[in-house]
Amino acid sequence: MDRIGLRCRLLKAQAEAGDIVLLFGDESETLTHPYLAHVWARRGADLRIPAPGQATKVALLGVLDWAARELVVQTSRTKRSTDFIALLETLDRRYGPEPGRCAKPVRLVLDNGPIHTSKASTAALAQRAHWLKVEWLPKYAPELNDIEERWRDVKRHYLAHQTFTGPEDLDQAIHEAIMKLNHERSRHSLVNRRIPA
């Protein structure tokens, strides 16, 4: 296993022990037109679903709280540094230092994508350096970012095979899907987890 993979395993062990909060962050996109998943057809058949109008994109910006198995997501019509900074402001409220709250060190795993490394994003991360440390992944390493599996779950199991009337309808469906996914994951939080003897 490479150095970055070993580092991720170490961070997961620390998060599982309750020593740190481990967040995996990334972005994804969804469309108002249908996403096809788990379908079958005869060989050569056209797998299209008629959808009226032009497809509209909604961006998902989020973090996966690894130990809590909770997805924290914000949606936007764009995927820019300002949207990433808005997500950081949400993290401030959820994980940042606050009087009377016992604060654990927070590690945020991010790739080196331009939305994370822009001047504005770098400055926003630097402002939070006293409580939020970034662990950088290579630019294209989805296999090391645990949030990727959650994006697939949302798209395949909650948003697939549907046409949405517009971005507002899709946005509402995304937030409902995240709530359902978080509820399902929290009910099974001990599945496949190591329990100390």
Q: Which residues contact 12 (CB under 8 A, 6 or more apart)?
A: 22, 66
Q: Give, in order, the Cα–Cα distances in Å from 140 to each of 3, 136, 143.
A: 16, 11, 9
Q: What is the pLDDT of residues 68-119, one digit of tens each?
A: 999 999 999 999 999 999 999 999 999 998 887 777 899 999 999 999 999 9
Residue with tokens 């009337």: 165
3-state secondary structure 135-160: EECCCCCHHHCCHHHHHHHHHHHHCC
**What's the whole-number average pLDDT of the chain?**
87
* pLDDT value of position 27: 95
Q: What is the pLDDT of residue 28?
A: 94
Q: How many helices (H) and strands (E) does the chain have?
A: 6, 5
Predicted confidence (pLDDT) per residue in 144-170, tens digit: 899 999 999 999 889 988 888 889 999
Using 50, 70 and 90 to split pLDDT, how confident is the model at 39?
Answer: low
Quote the CA–CA distance of 52 and 161 in Å, as a whole number.
14
Q: Is the pLDDT of residue 193 over 90?
A: no
What share of the chain in percent tops pLDDT 90? 61
User: 172: which residues sit within 8 A by CB, 6+ positions away?
Assistant: none
Tokens of 104: 């654990």
Contacts of 86 (CB under 8 A, 6+ apart): 61, 74, 76
β-strand partners of 25: 63
pLDDT of 2:
81
pTM for this model (two decimals) = 0.85
Domain ranges in the chain are 3-32+54-187
Contact 32, 41 (CB under 8 A): no
Note the pLDDT of residue 190: 47
State how far the Cα of 157 lies from the Cα of 154, in Å rounded to an integer: 6
User: Which CATH architecture does the domain made up of 3-32+54-187 adopt?
Assistant: 2-Layer Sandwich (3.30)
Helical (H) or strand (E) element with 93: helix 81-95
146: amino acid identity, one letter: D
